Amino acid sequence: MSTVQSDAVAVESAGLSSKQARILRYLRENAGEQTYFKSRLIADDLDLSAKEVGANMGAVADAAADLDVEKWGYSSGTTWMVVA
């Protein structure tokens, strides 16, 4: 099974929307290099709005068994602490 197919199966089984799957993939790819993520910067990288990122982060956090996602701060937008 290819990586794309296994990602699709994992997303489908977790019940994530395509936006949520994109956010989760982004966090998994970058959590090893940084700990804090601003919604607006995630949004810029994924061509979403900061509001879309924030609205979907709860489902992403619930689905990410391999990541600890915690809302961290609100100064100049929402910041998320993500630990792999």
How many independent structural domains does the chain possess?
Answer: 1
1 pLDDT above the threshold of 80: no
* Residue 21: domain span: 3-83
pLDDT in tens, 8-25: 445 544 689 999 999 999
> pTM of the prediction?
0.81
Domain CATH code at residue 17:
1.10.10.10
Backbone angles phi, psi at 16, to 5 degrees: -90, 145
Cβ–Cβ < 8 Å for 20, 72: no
* Nearest CA among 15, 73, 1 for reference residue 24: 15
The pLDDT, as a whole number, for residue 13 is: 45
pLDDT in tens, 24-83: 999 999 999 999 999 999 999 999 999 999 999 999 999 999 999 999 987 778 999 999
Backbone angles phi, psi at 3, to 5 degrees: -60, -40
